[in-house]
Amino acid sequence: MENTHNFISPKTNLIGIGAIKDLPNELLAWKLSKVLIVTDKNMIKLGYVENVEKILKSLLISYDIFDGILHPNPTVSFVEDGLLNFKKKWNVFRRSYKLIISIGGGSNHDCAKAIAVVATNGGSIIDYEGYNKVTKPAIPHIAINTTAGSGAELTMFAIIADNTRRVKMSIASPFITPFISVNDPIFMTTMPKEVTASSGIDVLSHAVEAFVSTEANPSTDSLAIGAIKLVFEYLPRAYDNGNDLEAREKMMFANIMAGMAFNNAGLGYVHCMAHQLGGFYNQTHGCYNAVLLPFVFEFNAVSIPERRIMQLCEAMGTITQNRAQAVELIMEAIKDLSARIRIPGRLREMGLDERDIEMLSENALKDISSFTNPRQGFIDDMIGIFKAAY
């Protein structure tokens, strides 16, 4: 019986305190002439972009900077603004940039992926919504990550908001996986508390959804369980003290492990629903996940084998021999961790208007992450989960 599992990740992952120092060696071999840096103004203010500029200058590589990612839910118009760099008068050839370097969190990496795809494939990023719609390789991309995290620096997914339809599109293709990811905790110490909290709980939601996914396998399981243990131990520490480099480093590893797990096992309804909320109300992705995760887990629980529920329970630091109690304990553990890092407990606190629930539910069921959710639901199930989390 055929049962294959492709494992997709960047070709090289530079990981650890000081990892950025290895970047020049990687770039040297490429004989690059021109690079586009994709980032936001805050990254420039923090000096992170300057760090990379120094590296490029030392290698005599010319570059332009696109800093037009204006908020954490990148839109089609941000992608189009970034693509204008390819059309400026000194860029007669659309492929004049040989490399894109994104600096920042998931929003910046996702926007860079979308720019890289359209630059070589043409059309609009809307044309590539869904799974495997990209037909040609994107411009090579190096993602320098500053959060822990969306996992976007090492995944084949880009999430872009289409404001005209008020939906967040998922674009999934191995062609858009960054060529190199850089995870150096030095770039993470300035992450504000709220970003530490929301991106840290996003890591947890990636790991839990990958673990219960229909495409989970032993390699993604070990990454997911490892990530869950790290999040429960180190996220409160990273939240309390951003300069705790050990906690930052452990959360960086949790982000990488959960990112690799979901890149290869897929996600589920938490992300289907959070994507829609992000498209409608433009608030932080991780916070939506935090609120939805216990309720989606409760819905999914009947379809998750008992042994796996017990494994999850243990990874979150509690043990019981009773299945029903284990489900309760998992839900409580997620809610307690969210409360500990001051994430709001209800969707209504994050802008959800009850009148939008039906539309959001319809769109959530169309999201590609729904395919790997362990229990397939209908519109009324989605509405029920939204209402429970309201």
Comparing CB distances to Fe ion, the nearer of 27 and 152 is 152
CA quadruple 164, 165, 166, 167: dihedral sign? negative
Contacts of 224-230 spanning 24+ positions with Cβ under 8 A:
224/257, 224/258, 224/261, 224/262, 224/265, 225/311, 225/312, 225/315, 226/254, 226/257, 227/203, 227/253, 227/254, 227/255, 227/257, 227/258, 227/261, 228/204, 228/312, 228/315, 228/316, 229/315, 230/254, 230/257
Comparing CB distances to Fe ion, the nearer of 75 and 150 is 150
Comparing CB distances to Fe ion, the nearer of 13 and 155 is 155
Report if residue 367 touches Fe ion, rule: CB under 5 A: no
Contact letters for Fe ion, residues 296-335 (x by CB under 5 A): ----------------------------------------
Q: Which of residues 54-83 bind Fe ion (CB under 5 A)?
A: none
Comparing CB distances to Fe ion, the nearer of 202 and 367 is 202
Comparing CB distances to Fe ion, the nearer of 184 and 202 is 202
The rounded distance, in Å, linking the Cα atoms of 81 and 65 is: 12
Q: How many residues bind Fe ion (CB under 5 A)?
A: 1
Contact letters for Fe ion, residues 120-149 (x by CB under 5 A): ------------------------------
Stretch that binds Fe ion, among 37-45, 140-148, 156-164, 199-207 (CB under 5 A): 199-207
Q: Which tokens is 55 given?
A: 């590296």
Comparing CB distances to Fe ion, the nearer of 67 and 202 is 202
Give me the residue whose beta carbon is nearest to Fe ion. Answer: 202
Q: Which of residues 87-126 bind Fe ion (CB under 5 A)?
A: none
Nearest distance from residue 21's CB to Fe ion, in Å?
29
Which of 202, 209, 249, 367: binder of Fe ion (CB under 5 A)? Answer: 202
Nearest distance from residue 26's CB to Fe ion, in Å?
27
Stretch that binds Fe ion, among 194-202, 248-256, 326-334, 350-358 (CB under 5 A): 194-202
Nearest distance from residue 338's CB to Fe ion, in Å?
14
By the criterion CB under 5 A, which residues form the site for Fe ion? 202
